[in-house]
């Protein structure tokens, strides 16, 4: 799954991979250092692993998280507004790229 995701985003001029983490115990520390716009996580079950995403978004509310479950061919897109929100995704290249490019409204933004 890692290779597929990297292959999908490597040719995109507006998306840059700024780091990779192999040990989840250092994830928050590296996110604090790198300050990514988006984080892609490979999770066994995104529905049950939402606590990790909630923790990360609590510390880094400007970041977006794309949680992918390769064995289930499923993904969930997380972002924070006032509370943490998520949206189930259809597994496709276009959906992956759209989720990484999306800019959800920030707190205080007014929809026109």
Q: Give the pLDDT score at 52.
A: 87
Tell me the average pLDDT of the chain. Answer: 83
Selection from 66, 63, 64 nearest residue 32 by Cα: 63
Per residue in 20-72, pLDDT (tens digit) is 888 888 899 999 999 999 999 887 766 667 888 889 999 999 999 998 887 77
Q: How many CA atoms lie within 13 A of 63 on its CB side?
A: 22
- Cα torsion 85, 89, 95, 98 to 10°: value is 0
Q: Give the pLDDT score at 20.
A: 87
| Domains of the chain by residue range | 2-101
pTM higher than 0.85: no
Q: Are 39 and 58 in contact (CB under 8 A)?
A: no
Listed in sequence order, the residues at least 6 apart from 14 whose beta carbon sits closer than 8 Å to its beta carbon are 101
């Amino acid at each position: 799954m890692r290779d597929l995701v990297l292959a999908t985003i490597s040719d995109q001029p507006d998306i840059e991979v700024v780091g990779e983490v192999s040990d989840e115990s250092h994830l928050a520390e590296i996110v604090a250092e790198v300050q990514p716009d988006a984080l892609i996580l490979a999770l066994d079950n995104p529905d049950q692993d939402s606590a990790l995403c909630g923790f990360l978004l609590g510390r880094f509310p400007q970041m977006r998280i794309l949680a992918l479950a390769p064995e289930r061919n499923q993904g969930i897109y997380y972002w924070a507004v006032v509370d943490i929100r998520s949206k189930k995704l259809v597994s496709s290249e276009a959906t992956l790229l759209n989720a990484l490019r999306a800019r959800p409204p920030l707190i205080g933004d007014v929809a026109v």
